[in-house]
A and B are shown apart, each in its own frame.
Chain A
Amino acid sequence: MARRSDKLKPEPKKEGLVDYANDEPSAFASMLGGLIEANVKSRIEKRKDFSTLVARVGIWVNDIDEGVTLDFKGTGGWLTVHNGLVPNRTLTIRTDAETVMSLSNLKIGVFGLPIYYDEVGRGVAAKLLSGKLKIDGLLPNVMTLNAVTRIFSVQ
């Protein structure tokens, strides 16, 4: 089976909104990077968050044993996606593939806060309470999580 190269590019090129740190981005990295890029390009309300957010957010999917780090760099809107978890993360989300999809389906309500009282929101909250969704670094970074959720949400 062909192995993916984990070699890092010397310096990511700034083309578009999203760049990939690895020569061969994983399928998961390409999907999340592609999702965020399409979301930000098509939804003007997401651009403000994207252009100002500075945070490193890890997402680890337990049931596929794969993860990515989303390195939001601010500076007018630039994201570098790394294969796997890289150090110095602001937040790390650990959950299963289905919940990752639910997170991207959270609706955003008034004041830009994610809605946790509809069906999808209740499902996410239940996973958080049952420990099936773990967010390292949540308490000091609630605002960052909300901004990431707004960028990530397709709703």
Chain B
Amino acid sequence: MTVKAFSAEWADAFKDEVNKSTAYKAAGKGWKWTVGLVVEAEPDKHFAESRGIVMDLFDGEARDIKVGPAADAQKCDFVITAPYSRWKQVATKELDATKGMLQGKLKLKGDLPTIVRYTKASQEMTECTTRIPVEWPDEATS
């Protein structure tokens, strides 16, 4: 089922994908921090308000993933920020998240050694987003 990008339904689908992933379960072992994704508004792309995705990840499991205000995501232990169209590029495999971070296209806040230690887990999380059929606001016909 197609879900609207970065909506509550998308968050549920993302959580399901993460918890279905055996690769994430293995790579995320030992992870115990919250991750916030800030999706910055791009009104010209019909994404009018910034949103925050708060991910409660623990030991290879997604305990909860919620969409809310950007400020909520900014309070997480690790925060990755990018405009809507960059996140769309990540979710459609146009942009590799690791390269995006090295290039500053995705801005990362948090303890770098920890996030580097879990590179494989973050790559698999990105893979999970690519498996969700998404309706993108800038592609919507009506």
Q: Which residues in B have their C-beta under 8 angstroms from that of A63?
A: 99
- Chain A: residues with Cβ within 8 Å of the partner, total of 22
Q: How far is the CB of A19 from chain B (nearest CB, A)?
A: 17
A97 touches B117 (CB 8 A): no
Q: Tell whether A138 is near chain B: CB-to-CB under 8 Å.
A: no
**Chain B binding surface SS class:** helix
Residues of A within 8 A of B105 (CB): 27
- Which chain A residues (93-120) contact chain B, with CB distance < 8 Å? 97-98, 100-101, 104-105
A105 pairs with B117, CB closer than 8 A: yes
- Is residue B96 within 8 Å, beta carbon to beta carbon, of the partner chain? yes
Q: Is the CB of B112 within 8 A of A97?
A: no
CB distance from A101 to the nearest CB of B (A): 4
User: In the docked arrangement, what's the CA distance between A38 and B110, Å?
Assistant: 11
The smallest beta-carbon distance between B98 and chain A, in angstroms, is 5
Q: Which of the residues A61, A66, A154 comes within 8 Å of B117, measured between beta carbons?
A: A154
Give residues in B with beta carbon < 8 Å to A.
Answer: 96, 98-99, 101-105, 107-108, 111-114, 116-117, 119
What are 12 residue pairs bridging A and B, where the CB atoms are less than 8 Å apart in the complex?
Answer: A27-B104, A35-B113, A38-B112, A39-B113, A64-B103, A97-B102, A101-B116, A101-B119, A105-B117, A105-B119, A154-B116, A154-B117
